[in-house]
Structure 1
Amino acid sequence: MSKRALDQNVASDTSLTFGETRVTGSDIRILNNTNAWLTETLIAFYFEFLNSRVFTSYKCSICVPPEITALIQITPANEIGAFLEPLEVDQKDLIIFALHGVADSEDMDHSHWSLLVYSKWDNKIFHFDSQNGYNNSAVRSLSEKLQVYFNINVEVKEVECLQQKKPQDCGIHVLANAEQIITYAAKARTVNDCPKVSEKAINEYRQKMLKLIWKLKHSSSIYQIKSKQQPSLFSKSWHDEHDRDRF
């Protein structure tokens, strides 16, 4: 299917409910627009997809929904358990957060996504930022809260990662890095030396997400996909194709 036909097919029906996330026509337009920032909804959708469809056999990892991370960011450290305990993070070895930082709280045009990873295997917190230094304040704040919650005192390591070419691509880098880190760490039992994502993967990620949404919508006659209650709706051939698209 051509890119244009794919875009039209995905956008022709304006919503998809996947688990707890509803992707709408406006989200599709954002994916089609390379000059648009990814929204919290799109990051939540792909995090839920990674948790419930791609890495179901990797019980050691979890991508925390970005709306939960946002609540943690504004909540005192001694109260964040109310958000983390239902996710059973104590049973996970790799906990991934999409961190949203704002340079100037009155100017949301200067907001930025980066990735924070707590690895119990490494006893470290890793920060992957495609625009180095931008989210320093948010990283420091969230890291301090996590150390209080988990009762740890660990190094916070800034990881050298691929830097974004366009300011609108920070969310794309977050998703690509999250997928790359889980794939690598689930086998290596470490985040250290995780390979960088490629420019090619970043450039293709929006179309990859559009293709995924289109397939999810057409994998069943019922569009309300309850990812945690129902068995997989994907055929072996679909999984094989998706595996070939992995980084």
Structure 2
Amino acid sequence: MNKSDPISLSFHDACLRMSDVQLLRGPQWLNDQILSFYYEYLSHIKYKNNDDVYFVTPEVTQCMKYMDDSELKIIFEENNAALKSFIFFALNDNETAEAGGTHWSLLVLSRPEKSFFHFDSYGNSNSIPSMELISKVKDSLGVRQAKFRPMRCLQQANGYDCGIHVICMTEHIADYVNRYEVIEGLPLLHMDTVLSKRSELLKLIISLGGRE
């Protein structure tokens, strides 16, 4: 047990320490733990009754890069991925099996549109990692013919907000597909949403019993 960095909140498969929560207070790059927590929240609370969406946490997305087809098949079967219309991958440019990396982007499979949509708040800097992940998972997901579609999206105004953009875009897209069942036509995210999200996340963590 790490007494110098106690746990703030355990929530399903996510564990936030006080140091993780502190990242939300200032101009800091968000780590795997914060994004994983939010994906767990979307899966288990906000969209728990929506069988069309599946949120793949950053750690699992990272591990998928190094799995063989049989391992991928097991994970996808456990999560009924074949039945999900929209699958969200929180993607990092990390090239090792450990946590890390320098940039987050969002990759979303839309089965109805037979496409992998890529949303990158910093130009197309994660295009190569996203295409590598697609080539890794498309057979196991039964979408061999799906196209790669880099999408225009709101760009970050600094060097550290990519994780907040991924969190905001995930929710923005999930709300949209909940209503329209496609990603095509998605309006741009508002910068106000990005600017207010850190304080919203802090309030959410406290509301779920987290310690500040």
TM-score (norm 2): 0.89
Amino acid in the other structure paired with 1:21: A
Gapped runs of 5+ residues in structure 1?
1-12, 224-247
Count of aligned pairs between the two proteins: 203
Gapped runs of 5+ residues in structure 2?
1-5
Partner of 2:107: 116
Alpha-carbon spacing, 1:132–1:88, altered in 2? closer, same or farther (3 Å):
same
Describe how 1:7-26 pairs up with structure 2 within 5 A.
Answer: 14-26=7-19
Check if 1:52 corresponds to 2:44. yes
Residues 179-203 of structure 1: per-residue CA shift (max 9 Å, x gap): 0001001110101111121100101
Partner of 1:240: none
Instruction: Give the counterpart of 2:136 among 130, 136, 145.
Output: 145
- Decide which structure has the larger Cα Rg and report it: 1
Secondary structure of the residue that 2:160 maps to in structure 1? helix
Alpha-carbon spacing, 1:46–1:110, altered in 2? closer, same or farther (3 Å):
closer
Cα distance in 2, alignment partners of residues 215 and 109 from structure 1? 28
Contact 1:127 1:139 in 2 (8 A): yes
Secondary structure of the residue that 1:50 maps to in structure 2? helix
Check if 1:27 corresponds to 2:20. yes
Contact 2:165 2:194 in 1 (8 A): yes
Cα distance in 2, alignment partners of residues 59 and 26 from structure 1? 33
Cα distance in 2, alignment partners of residues 92 and 174 from structure 1? 20
Amino acid in the other structure paired with 1:38: L
Secondary structure of the residue that 1:184 maps to in structure 2? helix
Secondary structure of the residue that 2:201 maps to in structure 1? helix
Secondary structure of the residue that 1:31 maps to in structure 2? coil
Secondary structure of the residue that 2:108 maps to in structure 1? strand
Residues 151-197 of structure 1: per-residue CA shift (max 9 Å, x gap): 32121101100000111100000010000001001110101111121
Partner of 1:242: none
Percent same amino acid at aligned positions? 29
Cα distance in 2, alignment partners of residues 41 and 59 from structure 1? 24
Cα distance in 2, alignment partners of residues 155 and 87 from structure 1? 23
Post-superposition shift, 1:60?
0.6
Partner of 1:181: 173
Post-superposition shift, 1:111?
1.4
Cα distance in 1, alignment partners of residues 184 and 208 from structure 2? 33
Cα distance in 2, alignment partners of residues 84 and 132 from structure 1? 30
Cα distance in 1, alignment partners of residues 7 and 63 from structure 2? 28
Segments of 4+ moved more than 6 angstroms: none
Contact 1:78 1:148 in 2 (8 A): no
CA-atom RMSD in angstroms: 2.0
Partner of 2:207: 215
Contact 1:184 1:191 in 2 (8 A): yes
Cα distance in 2, alignment partners of residues 186 and 129 from structure 1? 22
Cα distance in 2, alignment partners of residues 50 and 214 from structure 1? 16
Cα distance in 1, alignment partners of residues 123 and 76 from structure 2? 27
Secondary structure of the residue that 1:217 maps to in structure 2? coil
Describe how 1:147-162 pairs up with structure 2 within 5 A.
Answer: 147-151=138-142, 152-162=144-154
Instruction: Give the counterpart of 1:69 among 61, 81, 85.
Output: 61
Secondary structure of the residue that 1:163 maps to in structure 2? coil
Amino acid in the other structure paired with 1:193: G
Partner of 1:131: 122
Post-superposition shift, 1:56?
2.0
Secondary structure of the residue that 1:157 maps to in structure 2? strand
Residues 211-243 of structure 1: per-residue CA shift (max 9 Å, x gap): 10111117xxxx9xxxxxxxxxxxxxxxxxxxx
Partner of 2:3: none
